[in-house]
Amino acid sequence: MNVKDDHGSLSAIARCVLHLGDKIFDCPPTFTMYEFDEVMNGALVIKVPRLSDFSLDVSCVVEVVKLEKPKCIFLTSPNNPDGSTISDEDLLKIISAPVLVVLDEAYIEFFGIKSRMDWERSMTI
Ligand SMILES: Cc1ncc(COP(=O)(O)O)c(C=O)c1O
């Protein structure tokens, strides 16, 4: 499903997807409202911190999905606050894992990179 350009869409997705006690994970530092929305919807937040260059620790993300079976992961590309982007290769590894991936591309227009709006297994906001 693609959700385009709606203010509050993150909260709406969290409300639709999460139930009390669901596990979800974030990759901080990232947009802090993810954690707020997740906690507000009763989810347990697992954190997989980014590496020192702010890239995702993809192997750890995939491992955590296998071990913890979270319902959902919120990712941002370009990321707030550092502007780092997720490569196709890394994103493909993550969406191959059994987890719902929400890809937040709120700042895509400013980076001159291609949106993943047309990818099938992620929600793009
Ligand atoms: C990464 C990112 N996503 C989304 C938003 C806005 O989300 P929403 O309009 O759903 O509250 C912001 C606003 O600062 C943001 O930094």
Atom of ligand 1 lying closest to residue 106 CA: 3
pLDDT tens string 53-98: 999 999 999 999 999 999 999 999 999 999 999 999 999 999 999 9
Phi, psi torsion values for 14, nearest 5 degrees: -60, -45
Query: Which residue puts its alpha carbon closest to atom 12 of ligand 1?
Result: 106
For 108, the token pair is: 């895509």
Q: What is the pTM of this model?
A: 0.88
Report the CATH number of the 22-106 domain: 3.40.640.10
Q: What is the pLDDT of residues 13-29, one digit of tens each?
A: 888 889 999 999 899 99
Instruction: Compute CA distances 48 → 64, 100, 125, whole Å.
Output: 8, 16, 21
CA distances 26 to 81, 85, 89, 105, 122, Å, are 14, 15, 19, 15, 16
Q: Which residue ranges make up each domain of the chain? A: 22-106
User: Nearest CA to 55 among 91, 11, 20, 21?
Assistant: 91
Q: Is the pLDDT of residue 52 over 80?
A: yes
Cβ atoms within 10 Å of 73's Cβ, excluding its own: 26
H/E run at residue 59: helix 58-68
**Mean pLDDT, rounded, for 40-54:** 94
Q: Quote the percentage of the chain above a pLDDT of 90.
A: 70
Q: Of all atoms in ligand 1, which is nearest to the CA of residue 6?
A: 9
